[in-house]
Chain A
Amino acid sequence: MPLYRRPNGFDLPFASEITPQEIFESRRSFIKQIAIGAAGAGSLLQWTGGEAWAQTGDGQKLAAKANPAYVVTDKATSFKDATTYNNFYEFGTDKSDPAENAGSLKTRPWTIAIEGEVKKPLTLDIDSLLKLAPMEERIYRLRCVEGWSMVIPWIGYSLSALIKKVEPTSNARYVEFTTLADNRQMPGLRAPVLEWPYVEGLRMDEAMHPLALLSFGMYGQVLPNQSGAPVRMVLPWKYGFKSAKSIVKIRFLKDQPRTAWNIAAAREYGFYSNVNPDVDHPRWSQATERRIGEDGFFTKKRKTLMFNGYNEVASLYSGMDLKKYF
C-alpha cells in the first residue's frame, strides 16, 4: 500500500486527456503480453482488458467492445473488492451480506415492464434487453454516499437506447425504476430498513444523458447477483444508491417519483443526490473519499470531484441551486 500517492494528473478526465483508441488498445495488448509472459501472475490478468476480466470471477462471460470515450486512467478496483463490499439491503445491511446471501436470486427468467407515459408500453425479457443495443465496456468511477469510491468496468449501453424504443410522450418528465422485492429470494426484506420495493428515479434529461448506463455486466462477465443482476442502472455522477439494482419495472411519469432513500430520510438523501463535495451529508463531510483497495491506511483521503469528475453533466443543472436540490 502506497505511503504517499503522488497526484498523477489524471484525476480530471478532460476530453483532451483521454487516450486515443489505438494507443489505448495497443497498451492493453502490451500489458496482456506481459501478463501472459508472467504466467501465473493472476493479479496482472486483471488489467488485461475486456476478455481477461472474466478470469477474475467464475461468472458467465459477456462480450462487449470497450468504449474509449468512457475510460478513466484510475486503477480499477479488484473484482473481489467490488463484489464483496456491496450495499444491497434486500440481501442484508452488512456490506458482506449481499455476496453471502444473493445466491438465492433467480435472474432467469426475468422481465422488465416499461409503462406509464409512453406510446409503446412493453414488457421485455432479459434476452431481448441484452440484444437491444450493442454492448459496451465503460470504466466508470463510482462514489458511494458513505464516502468511499471504486473504479469499475461496467458492461451495458446507454439507457437512452431503451427509452427511444418505447417512445415517451411529452408528459414523461421523470423515470422511475423499481427493484425486485421478493421475500422468497431476498432475506433482507424482512428488516424494515426501507420501504420495499426499492424505488429510484431520474429526471428525463438525466435519463437521456449518454453517461446513464443500463448495465448487464462488469469485469467482462454478467453481473454477479450482489451487484444488481441481471440488469441495473449505473449513474457515475450520482451517489451509488441512485443506481437501482435488479430492476423489474421502469415507469415514465409526469411528476417526480418518491424514492426509497428520500422517503427514509429526506434531510439526508435528496432526489438528485449528485456527487457534490460542497454539500455535506448531515453526519459526515463529502469533501473527501477513500478509494477502496487503493488508498491505504497512510494515504490521505482523496478530494471528491464535483459530479464525481463527470463535468459533462453540469449543463443538466445550469441555473439550479444544487445546495437546495441536493
Chain B
Amino acid sequence: MFNPTPRQFKVIRALLFVSALLPALRLLVAGFTGGLGANPIEFITRSSGDWTLYFLCIALAVTPLRRLSGWNWLIKLRRMLGLFAFFYASLHFTTFLWFDHFFDLGEMFKDVVKRPFITVGFIAFVLLLPLALTSTNGMIRRLGGKRWQWLHRSVYAVALLGILHFWWMRAGKHNFEKPILFGTIIAGLLLVRVYFAWRNRSAGVSQARAKVQKRQVTPTPT
C-alpha cells in the first residue's frame, strides 16, 4: 500500500495546490490576452461555477477513496480541496456581485429573493462561509471534533443546492447534460456514504450482538 514519506507528501500537496490554481491562472492569462471570447464575464462566471462543482466533487470523493484504497493520508489533503471549492465559489459570487450588480447590494438581494435559481446558489455560498471560516486547526479544537464534523456535514447540502442551482440555470434551455453528470457524481458520492454508514451500523449491531451472546455463554464467576 502506498504511503508517502513526509517529503513525498509535501511534493504531492504542492503539486495538487498548483494544479488546483491552474483554472484560475488560465482565466487570468486569458483575460489579459483576450482569450475569454466575446462575453468574458459570462465565461468567468461559468468557468468559476463549473470549478466550484468540480472541487466539491473532488473533496467529497476523498472519504470514499480513502476507505476503498486504505490511503489514510488522503484525508490530510481534503481541507485544501474544500477551500479550493470555496475559492472558486467566491470567484463565482464576486463576478455576480461586481460585474452583474456593480456592488449594488439592494439590487443584488432583489435578484436573490426574486429568482429561485439565484436564491439557491446564494444559500449554498452562504453555507460554505462557516465551513471555510472553521477550517483551521484552532477552530477544530475550539469546536471539538464531534461538533466540527457535524457542522461540516452541511457540505452535503451545499453540493445538492449547487446541483439544483446549475439545474435551474440550464432549465430554460433544456440542456441538462452537465447538470445530470454532476448530479450523478454527487449522488454517487453521497450514496457511498449512506452505504458506509449502514455497514458501520450493522457491523456495530452484530458486534454488540456477539458481545451479548458471548456474555451469555460465559459463565459468570460466582
The answer on a CB contact under 8 Å between A283 and B172 is: yes
The answer on a CB contact under 8 Å between A290 and B41 is: yes
With a cutoff of 8 Å between Cβ atoms, the chain A residues found around residue B40 in the complex are 297
The answer on a CB contact under 8 Å between A283 and B41 is: no
Minimum C-beta distance from A78 to chain B (A): 8
Any chain B CB within 8 A of the CB of A272? Answer: no
The answer on a CB contact under 8 Å between B39 and A290 is: yes
With a cutoff of 8 Å between Cβ atoms, the chain A residues found around residue B114 in the complex are 280
Any chain B CB within 8 A of the CB of A17? Answer: no
Q: With A192-B174, A193-B175, A282-B115 as given contacts, are A96 and B39 in contact (CB-CB < 8 Å)?
A: no
The answer on a CB contact under 8 Å between A85 and B37 is: yes
Q: Complex: how many Å from CA A86 to CA B118?
A: 25
The residue from B39, B118, B172 contacting A85, defined by CB atoms under 8 A apart:
B39
The residue from B42, B115, B118, B175 contacting A93, defined by CB atoms under 8 A apart:
B175
The answer on a CB contact under 8 Å between A193 and B38 is: no
Any chain A CB within 8 A of the CB of B173? Answer: yes
Q: With A93-B175, A282-B115, A283-B172 as given contacts, are A297 and B38 in contact (CB-CB < 8 Å)?
A: no
The answer on a CB contact under 8 Å between B102 and A300 is: yes
- How does the 8 Å CB contact mask read for B102-113 relative to A, with 1 for contact and 0 for none? 100000000100
Interface residues of A (CB under 8 A from B): 80-81, 84-85, 93, 95-96, 148, 191-194, 264-265, 268, 280-285, 290, 292-293, 297, 300-301
Ranked 5 nearest A-B pairs via Cβ: A85-B38, A81-B38, A93-B175, A193-B174, A292-B38
The answer on a CB contact under 8 Å between A284 and B39 is: no
Minimum C-beta distance from B129 to chain A (A): 24
Q: With A194-B174, A264-B174, A297-B99 as given contacts, are A283 and B169 in contact (CB-CB < 8 Å)?
A: yes
With a cutoff of 8 Å between Cβ atoms, the chain A residues found around residue B99 in the complex are 297
Nearest-CB residue, chain B, relative to A295: B41
**Does more than half of chain A's interface fall in helix, strand or loop, or is it mixed?**
loop
With a cutoff of 8 Å between Cβ atoms, the chain A residues found around residue B41 in the complex are 290, 297
The answer on a CB contact under 8 Å between A283 and B174 is: no
Q: Complex: how many Å from CA A192 to CA B175?
A: 8
**Residues of B129-168 contacting chain A, CB below 8 A:** 168
With a cutoff of 8 Å between Cβ atoms, the chain A residues found around residue B122 in the complex are none
Minimum C-beta distance from A153 to chain B (A): 17
Q: With A283-B117, A283-B168, A284-B115 as given contacts, are A93 and B173 in contact (CB-CB < 8 Å)?
A: yes
The answer on a CB contact under 8 Å between A283 and B115 is: yes
Of B40, B102, B111, B174, most buried by chain A (CB within 10 Å of CB) is B174
**Residues of B68-124 contacting chain A, CB below 8 A:** 99-100, 102, 111, 114-115, 117-118
The answer on a CB contact under 8 Å between A285 and B173 is: no
Interface residues of B (CB under 8 A from A): 37-42, 99-100, 102, 111, 114-115, 117-118, 168-169, 171-175, 177
Q: Complex: how many Å from CA A87 to CA B59?
A: 35
The answer on a CB contact under 8 Å between A84 and B174 is: no
Nearest-CB residue, chain B, relative to A297: B99
Minimum C-beta distance from A218 to chain B (A): 15
Q: Complex: how many Å from CA A84 to CA B35?
A: 13
Minimum C-beta distance from B173 to chain A (A): 6
Q: Complex: how many Å from CA A255 to CA B169?
A: 33
Q: Complex: how many Å from CA A166 to CA B118?
A: 49
Q: Complex: how many Å from CA A297 to CA B118?
A: 21
Of A85, A268, A297, most buried by chain B (CB within 10 Å of CB) is A297
With a cutoff of 8 Å between Cβ atoms, the chain B residues found around residue A81 in the complex are 38
Minimum C-beta distance from A227 to chain B (A): 13
Minimum C-beta distance from A142 to chain B (A): 13
With a cutoff of 8 Å between Cβ atoms, the chain A residues found around residue B173 in the complex are 93, 193
The residue from A194, A264, A281, A292 contacting B39, defined by CB atoms under 8 A apart:
A292
Minimum C-beta distance from B65 to chain A (A): 31
With a cutoff of 8 Å between Cβ atoms, the chain A residues found around residue B42 in the complex are 148
Q: With A282-B115, A283-B115, A284-B115 as given contacts, are A148 and B39 in contact (CB-CB < 8 Å)?
A: yes
Minimum C-beta distance from B102 to chain A (A): 6
Q: Complex: how many Å from CA A192 to CA B180?
A: 14
Q: Complex: how many Å from CA A184 to CA B118?
A: 39
Q: Complex: how many Å from CA A301 to CA B117?
A: 21
Q: List 16 A-B contacts (CB under 8 A).
A: A80-B38, A84-B38, A93-B173, A95-B39, A148-B39, A191-B177, A193-B173, A280-B114, A282-B172, A283-B169, A290-B39, A290-B41, A292-B38, A293-B38, A297-B41, A297-B99
- Since A268-B172, A284-B111, A290-B41 are in contact, a sample of 4 more A-B pairs with Cβ atoms closer than 8 Å, ordered by chain A residue number, is A85-B39, A194-B174, A280-B114, A300-B102
Of B99, B118, B168, B172, most buried by chain A (CB within 10 Å of CB) is B172
With a cutoff of 8 Å between Cβ atoms, the chain B residues found around residue A268 in the complex are 172
The answer on a CB contact under 8 Å between B37 and A285 is: no
Q: Complex: how many Å from CA A297 to CA B36?
A: 12
The answer on a CB contact under 8 Å between A96 and B111 is: no
Minimum C-beta distance from A242 to chain B (A): 16
Q: Complex: how many Å from CA A282 to CA B40?
A: 24
